Chains A and B, each alone.
Chain A
Amino acid sequence: MTAFTPAAEIAAAVASGRTTASAVMTACLDRIERLNPVLNAFTAVLADRARTRAAVVDASRKPKGPLAGVPFAVKNLIDIKGLPTLAGSKINRDDPPATADAPLIGRLEAAGAILVGALNMGEYAYDFTGENAHDGPSRNPHDTVRMSGGSSGGSGSAVGGGLVPLALGSDTNGSIRVPASFCGLFGLKPTYGRLTRAGSFPFVSSLDHLGPLARTTTDLALAYDAMQGYDAADPVCVDRPADPVAARLNSGLSGLRIASAGGYFRAGASPEALAALDVVAAALAASETITIPEAQRARSAAYIITATEGAALHLDRLRTRPDDFDADVRDRLIAGTLIPAAAVMQAQKFRRWYRDEVLKLFQHVDAVLAPATPCVAPLIGQKTFVLDGKEMPLRPNIGVYTQPISFIGLPVVAVPLPTAAGLPIGVQIITAPWREDLALRIARTLEASGVAAAPLPKLEG
Chain B
Amino acid sequence: MDDPLLDALIDAGTAMVGIKMKPEWRQAVRMHLTISLGHAATVLETDLPDHLDPAPVYRA
Contact = CB atoms under 8 A, between A and B. Distances in A.
Contact of B40 (A191, A332, A340): A340
Interface residues of A, number: 50
12 contacts: A191-B60, A235-B57, A297-B42, A307-B36, A332-B28, A334-B19, A335-B35, A338-B9, A347-B43, A348-B54, A352-B52, A355-B55
Given A337-B17, A350-B43, A352-B52, A434 B60 contact: yes
Contacts of B42: 296-297, 300
Given A193-B60, A338-B10, A434-B60, A343 B44 contact: yes
A112 interface: no
A327 interface: yes
A348 B46 contact: no
A393 interface: yes
| Size range of the chain B interface in the assembly | 35 or more
A394 to B, nearest CB: 12
Interface of A: 191-193, 206, 235-236, 238, 296-297, 299-301, 303-304, 307, 315, 318-319, 322, 327-328, 330-332, 334-340, 342-343, 345-353, 355, 393, 396, 408-410, 433-434
Interface string B1-31: 0000000011001100111111001001101
Given A191-B60, A434-B60, A331 B54 contact: no
B48 A353 contact: yes
Contacts of A434: 60
A367 to B, nearest CB: 16
Contact of B14 (A300, A304, A334, A409): A334
A340 B33 CA distance: 11
